[in-house]
């Protein structure tokens, strides 16, 4: 039975309500508990992951063979738009928020977020934003101008169906939710840390969420402003982006990418934090170069606001502008590269346990590096001119979003699954899932690098039977089905773990941070008593006092001691 | 402490939102050269008067906070009421200005100048309205006698928001109403 899973429950029903809200669905709807809200974020993410994945599979069926007529061009436009929008705004963004909302209070030794009701508000407004976006299918057509909805294609004369209006409202609502949660997380980390947890002892995941909160607060307003303007254009016949009436298409691109590029780091920084936890615990070694992991995170967040024009090299802004942004885009590869070496250094000499979480983390190192290298090639302006709007871009962005963000999130999901559910999952099923997903992923997207280089444009519903196109597209489609199939194994793994999984102990992986100190799953009140913090591995200090970090100097704790 | 940190972060985020709207306005009216109609269309004197009223509401709110810290209930209610009234008067002023423009057929869809003008000032007006609603709730609490804990973060947090709304207007006023007069070559 699924019902015997212990779940955190509020102690008292909804105050002033005449209905019983301490059980069942109403308990979830009325909950302000950070753990329940975190779980709801994850369920929402999983739901949209399947929906978005299904849209992608439909597109791959259409592209499986040349001159296919499975989908009409206008349905294809709606599908790729909804796929991109869903995956970025309703899968990756809520996934990182959900993990942060669940884990941050636990890792800093707090019992709640600073503003529990704001937390619930933010979740529900994002949730309804997603529903509104999908309602567009019933209201006369989904948005069809791509996830970045370029002007003037987003104007009523080119996209007459109400899809883009729903796109604006849906994303505005979820954007408000995201900003609220970011502010909430930042305040939580500033004010609710257990007294002895100094900033230099924050777990790396908390550091990344903290940096990320500021990134969200600074990046999302650009998007919200752009969406409000677009809505005014479409509903009140305004002229911000309407090029026929003196509006500017470039203004939309600037505002969108001023949000859009930081967004890439918004969905990848928390996975960086997750990976830092996963690597150190499964390698049984403290993270190598803690100050560098944190410092490079801060560097990435600052540089993130200086690179947006590399999405616009093809708009003819002149060599001076292009050169500046080419250099800044290459610069951002440095702190990211630093992190890769931090994780390699953490694995080096460790006694590694290749659980499913660790497999995803290790695969991340490879896939994300491929995505990073193809990203660097876009910073070279002439290459960008050649490859922009081809499948090479599609391959690149999927290597960073899937191979980067999603692999990191999966690593964290398997790492924290015993804590969240109180059950162990089957490693056999986990490994099947990992290998099938990983092989499917590379089959799908590695081919697209080549497709892009030989000139296949993206966002076109079909292609002629040119040399190489058919075979590469067929392999790509088969890989997509392999990924889809592996997701069914993932579902079965969840069902199996919740129904039959062994009870997990409080600390099954010998973890380092405070979430492993509570019961699995944590009770409504996370902690009653906490040990003092002397390093960034407080639970390790507690469980292994003979080799604990608390007796070491700072240089040794952070691995910055010169041993020559 | 928590409330104040939260409101500071939100205000910082909102500032970037207004910056985006302001950039759109500047882009459409100042680039490549100033649209000369701006200076003639908008009424500097009347809006200037209402601007002074809105900015003085920051002063009355500051007095309300001082009374609150000293526990002077009566003057707290007085200064808070004055703040609300000044906010409402500003909105009425904006309403009069909008009606005047609309009667001259200057609607949102007239051109890029009106689109960006109404969006920028309209979003500011919306923020003033939200501020008035919050202040009215605070005022209601003050009349109930519930504002008696001098350590409460309620009033200082509301204050951060209200002062922010005023500062945004000061910037908007300078960029939209004042600067065009200095940049327009005077016909002699």
Give A24-42 pLDDT, tens digit per residue: 788 888 888 999 999 999 9
| A399, A401, A403, A406: CA torsion to nearest 10 | -160
Which residues of chain B neighbour A237 with C-beta distances below 8 Å? 108-109
Q: What is the per-residue pLDDT for A550? A: 78
Q: Are B68 and B150 in contact (CB under 8 A)?
A: yes
To which H or E segment does residue B162 belong? helix B154-173
Residues 6+ apart with CB under 8 A from A363: A403, A407, A434, A438
Nearest to A237 among B9, B19, B108 (CB): B108
| A337, A342, A343, A348: CA torsion to nearest 10 | 120
Q: Which of residues 442-481 of A touch B (CB under 8 A)?
A: none
Residue A24 falls inside a structural domain: no
Nearest CA of chain A to the CA of B86: how many Å? 28
Q: What is the per-residue pLDDT for A5? A: 37
Are A217 and B9 an interchain contact pair (Cβ–Cβ within 8 Å)?
yes
**Tokens 């009234």 map to which residue?**
B85
What does pLDDT average to over chain A? 91
- State whether residue A390 is helix, strand or coil: strand
Task: For residue A288, give Cα distances in angstroms to A99, A347, A351, A560.
Answer: 23, 9, 14, 9
Q: What is the per-residue pLDDT for A7? A: 38
For the whole model, what pTM was predicted?
Answer: 0.93
pLDDT confidence band for A524 (50 / 70 / 90):
confident
Q: What is the per-residue pLDDT for A21? A: 61
Which residues of chain B neighbour A222 with C-beta distances below 8 Å? 16-17, 20
Q: Which of residues 7-36 of A touch B (CB under 8 A)?
A: none
Q: Which of B14, B15, B17 is best to mutate for the A interface (most A CBs within 10 A)? A: B17
Which residues of chain A neighbour B109 with C-beta distances below 8 Å? 236-239
- Residue B12: give its domain's CATH number: 1.20.120.80
Nearest to A246 among B6, B16, B112 (CB): B112
**Tokens 């309205």 map to which residue?**
B129
Are B119 and A240 an interchain contact pair (Cβ–Cβ within 8 Å)?
yes
Q: How far is the C-alpha of A287 from the C-alpha of A270, rounded, in Å?
A: 16
> At how many degrees (to 10) do helices B73-103 and B44-70 cross?
160
Q: Are A238 and A229 in contact (CB under 8 A)?
A: yes
Look up residue A386 and give its two tokens. Answer: 């050649």
How far out from the chain centre does Cα A50 lie? Answer: 15
The residue among A430, A416, A424 whose CA lies nearest residue A504 is A424
Phi/psi for A22 (5° steps) reads -95, 10
Q: Are A165 and A71 in contact (CB under 8 A)?
A: no
Q: What is the per-residue pLDDT for A299? A: 96
β-sheet bridge partners, residue A457: A390
Are B2 and A251 an interchain contact pair (Cβ–Cβ within 8 Å)?
no
Task: For residue A334, give Cα distances in angstroms to A299, A339, A366, A367, A471.
Answer: 9, 9, 17, 17, 37
Q: What is the per-residue pLDDT for A241? A: 94
Q: DSSP code of B174?
A: I
Say how many domains are in chain A: 1
Q: What is the per-residue pLDDT for A204? A: 96
Cα-atom radius of gyration of chain A, to the nearest Å? 24
Q: How far is the C-alpha of A216 from the C-alpha of A414, rounded, in Å?
A: 26
Q: Are A225 and B21 in contact (CB under 8 A)?
A: yes
Are B111 and A114 an interchain contact pair (Cβ–Cβ within 8 Å)?
no
Residue A386 falls inside a structural domain: yes
Q: What is the per-residue pLDDT for A457? A: 94
Q: What is the per-residue pLDDT for A183? A: 97
Q: How far is the C-alpha of A96 from the C-alpha of A403, rounded, in Å?
A: 15
Q: What is the per-residue pLDDT for A496? A: 96
- A9 has pLDDT over 80: no
DSSP A137-191: TTTT----STTTT-TTTTSTTT--STHHHHHHHHHHHHHHHHHHHHHHHHHHHHH
Q: How far is the C-alpha of B79 from the C-alpha of B57, rounded, in Å?
A: 9
Q: Please write the tens of the pLDDT for every residue from A223-276.
A: 999 999 999 999 999 999 998 888 999 999 999 999 999 999 999 999 999 999
Q: DSSP code of A269?
A: H
Q: Please write the tens of the pLDDT for every residue from A55-108.
A: 999 999 999 999 999 999 999 999 999 999 999 999 999 999 999 999 999 999
**CB contacts < 8 A (A, B):** 86
Q: What is the per-residue pLDDT for A17? A: 53
Look up residue A370 and give its two tokens. Answer: 């491929």
What does pLDDT average to over chain B? 92
Q: Which residue has the higher pLDDT, A498 or A549?
A: A498
- Residue A399: give its domain's CATH number: 1.20.210.10
Q: What is the per-residue pLDDT for A380? A: 92
The residue among A155, A172, A370, A375 whose CA lies nearest residue A261 is A375
Q: What share of chain A in percent tops pLDDT 70?
A: 95
- A6 has pLDDT over 70: no
Say how many domains are in chain B: 1
Task: For residue B55, give Cα distances in angstroms to A420, B62, B77.
Answer: 51, 11, 19
Using a 10 angstrom Cβ sphere, with 0-12 exposed, 13-18 middle and 19 or more buried, the burial of residue A146 is: middle
Q: Are A267 and A256 in contact (CB under 8 A)?
A: no
Domain that holds residue A416: 29-558
- State whether residue A457 is helix, strand or coil: strand
Task: For residue A205, give Cα distances in angstroms to A90, A276, A347, B142, B151.
Answer: 21, 7, 18, 43, 34
- State whether residue A68 is helix, strand or coil: coil
Residue A8 falls inside a structural domain: no
Residue B188 falls inside a structural domain: no
Q: What is the per-residue pLDDT for A529? A: 83
Q: How far is the C-alpha of A397 from the C-alpha of A368, rounded, in Å?
A: 10
User: Chain B residues within 8 A (CB-CB) of chain A?
Assistant: 1-2, 5-6, 9-10, 12-14, 16-17, 19-21, 24, 27-28, 108-109, 111-112, 115-116, 119, 123
Look up residue A486 and give its two tokens. Answer: 């592996």
Which residue ranges of chain B lie beneath pLDDT 50? 188
Q: How far is the C-alpha of B63 from the C-alpha of A533, rounded, in Å?
A: 44
The residue among A387, A175, A147 whose CA lies nearest residue A257 is A147
Residue B80 falls inside a structural domain: yes
Nearest to B108 among A186, A191, A236 (CB): A236
Q: How far is the C-alpha of A526 from the C-alpha of A419, rounded, in Å?
A: 12
Residue B10 falls inside a structural domain: yes
How far out from the chain centre does Cα B145 lie? Answer: 28
Are A225 and B17 an interchain contact pair (Cβ–Cβ within 8 Å)?
yes
Q: Tell me the mean pLDDT in the region A398-415.
A: 96
Q: Tell me the mean pLDDT in the region A185-212.
A: 94
Q: Evaluate whether ipTM surpasses 0.90.
A: yes
Nearest CA in chain A to B5: A187
First to last CA, chain B: 58
Q: What count of residues does chain B have?
A: 188
Domain that holds residue B60: 1-183
**Tokens 């983390």 map to which residue?**
A361
Residues 6+ apart with CB under 8 A from A98: A37, A38, A39, A40, A41, A42, A44, A45
Q: Which of B20, B35, B118 is best to mutate for the A interface (most A CBs within 10 A)? A: B20
First to last CA, chain A: 59
Q: Which of residues 238-277 of A touch B (CB under 8 A)?
A: 238-240, 245-248, 251, 255, 258
Q: What count of residues does chain A have?
A: 564
Are B112 and A240 an interchain contact pair (Cβ–Cβ within 8 Å)?
yes
Which residues of chain A neighbour B123 with C-beta distances below 8 Å? 228
Are B119 and A232 an interchain contact pair (Cβ–Cβ within 8 Å)?
yes
Are A251 and B5 an interchain contact pair (Cβ–Cβ within 8 Å)?
no
Q: What is the per-residue pLDDT for A562? A: 67
Q: Are A98 and A45 in contact (CB under 8 A)?
A: yes
Q: What is the per-residue pLDDT for A22? A: 67
Q: Quote the strand ranges of A469-529, DSSP E.
A: none
Residue A16 falls inside a structural domain: no
């Amino acid at each position: 039975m699924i019902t015997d899973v212990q779940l955190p429950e509020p102690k008292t029903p909804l105050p002033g309500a005449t209905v019983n809200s301490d059980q069942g669905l109403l308990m979830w709807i009325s909950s302000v508990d950070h753990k329940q809200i975190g779980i709801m974020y994850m369920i929402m993410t999983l739901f949209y992951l399947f929906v978005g994945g299904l849209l992608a599979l439909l597109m791959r069926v259409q592209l499986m063979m040349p001159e296919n007529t499975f989908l009409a061009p206008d349905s294809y436009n709606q599908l790729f738009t909804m796929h991109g929008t869903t995956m970025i705004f309703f899968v990756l963004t809520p996934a990182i928020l959900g993990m942060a909302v669940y884990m941050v209070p636990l890792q800093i030794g707090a019992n709640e977020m600073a503003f529990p009701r704001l937390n619930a508000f933010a979740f529900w407004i994002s949730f309804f934003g997603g529903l509104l976006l999908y309602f567009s299918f019933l209201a006369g057509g989904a948005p069809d101008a791509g996830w970045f909805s370029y002007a003037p294609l987003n104007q009523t004369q080119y996209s007459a169906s109400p899809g883009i209006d729903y796109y604006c409202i849906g994303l505005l609502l979820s954007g408000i939710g995201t900003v609220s949660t970011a502010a909430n997380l930042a305040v939580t980390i500033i004010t609710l840390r257990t007294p002895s947890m100094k900033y230099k002892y924050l777990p790396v995941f908390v550091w990344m969420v903290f940096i990320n909160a500021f990134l969200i607060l600074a990046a999302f307003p650009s998007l919200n402003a752009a969406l409000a303007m677009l809505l005014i254009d479409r509903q009140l016949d305004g002229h911000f982006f309407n090029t026929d009436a003196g509006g500017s298409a470039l203004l939309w691109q600037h505002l969108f990418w001023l949000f859009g590029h930081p967004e890439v780091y918004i969905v990848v920084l928390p996975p960086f934090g997750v990976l830092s936890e996963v690597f150190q615990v499964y390698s049984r070694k403290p993270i190598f170069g803690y100050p560098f992991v944190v410092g490079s995170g801060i560097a990435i967040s600052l540089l993130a606001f200086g690179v947006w024009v590399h999405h616009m090299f093809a708009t003819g802004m002149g060599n001076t502008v292009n050169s500046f942004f080419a250099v800044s885009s290459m610069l951002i590869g440095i702190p990211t590269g630093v992190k890769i070496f931090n994780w390699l250094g953490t694995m080096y000499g460790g006694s590694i346990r290749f659980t499913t979480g660790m497999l995803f983390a290790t695969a991340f190192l490879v896939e994300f590096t491929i995505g990073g290298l193809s990203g660097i090639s876009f910073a070279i302006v002439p290459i960008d001119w050649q490859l922009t709007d081809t499948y090479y871009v599609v391959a690149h962005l999927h290597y960073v979003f899937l191979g980067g963000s999603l692999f990191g999130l999966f690593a964290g999901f398997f790492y924290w699954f015993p804590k969240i559910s109180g059950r162990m999952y089957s490693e056999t099923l986990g490994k099947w899932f990992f290998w099938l997903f990983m092989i499917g992923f590379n089959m799908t997207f590695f081919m697209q690098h080549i497709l892009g280089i030989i000139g296949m444009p993206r966002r076109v519903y079909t292609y002629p039977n040119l040399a190489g196109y058919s075979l590469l597209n067929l392999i790509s489609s088969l890989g997509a089905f392999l990924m889809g199939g592996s997701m069914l194994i993932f579902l079965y793994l969840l069902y199996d773990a919740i129904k039959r999984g062994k009870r997990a102990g409080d600390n099954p992986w010998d973890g380092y941070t405070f979430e492993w100190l509570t019961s699995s799953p944590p009770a409504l009140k996370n902690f009653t008593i906490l040990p003092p913090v002397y390093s960034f591995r407080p639970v390790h200090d507690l469980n292994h006092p003979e080799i604990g970090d608390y007796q070491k100097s700072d240089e040794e704790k952070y691995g910055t001691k010169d041993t020559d | 402490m928590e409330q104040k940190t939260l409101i500071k972060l939100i205000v910082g985020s909102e500032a970037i939102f207004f910056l985006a709207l302001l950039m759109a306005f500047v882009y459409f009216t100042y680039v490549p050269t100033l649209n000369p109609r701006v200076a003639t269309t908008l009424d500097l004197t009347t809006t200037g008067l209402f601007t002074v009223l809105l900015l003085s509401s920051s002063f009355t709110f500051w007095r309300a906070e001082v009374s609150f810290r000293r526990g002077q209930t009566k003057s707290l209610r007085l200064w808070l009421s004055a703040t609300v009234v000044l906010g409402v008067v500003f909105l009425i002023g904006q309403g009069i200005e909008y009606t005047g423009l609309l009667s001259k057929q200057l609607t949102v869809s007239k051109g890029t100048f009106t689109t960006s003008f109404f969006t920028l000032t309209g979003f500011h007006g919306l923020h003033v309205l939200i501020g008035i609603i919050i202040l009215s709730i605070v005022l209601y609490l003050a009349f109930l006698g519930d504002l008696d804990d001098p350590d409460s973060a309620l009033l200082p947090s509301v204050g951060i928001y209200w002062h922010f709304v005023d500062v945004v207007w000061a910037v908007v006023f300078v960029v939209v109403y004042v600067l065009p007069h200095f940049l327009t070559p005077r016909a002699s």
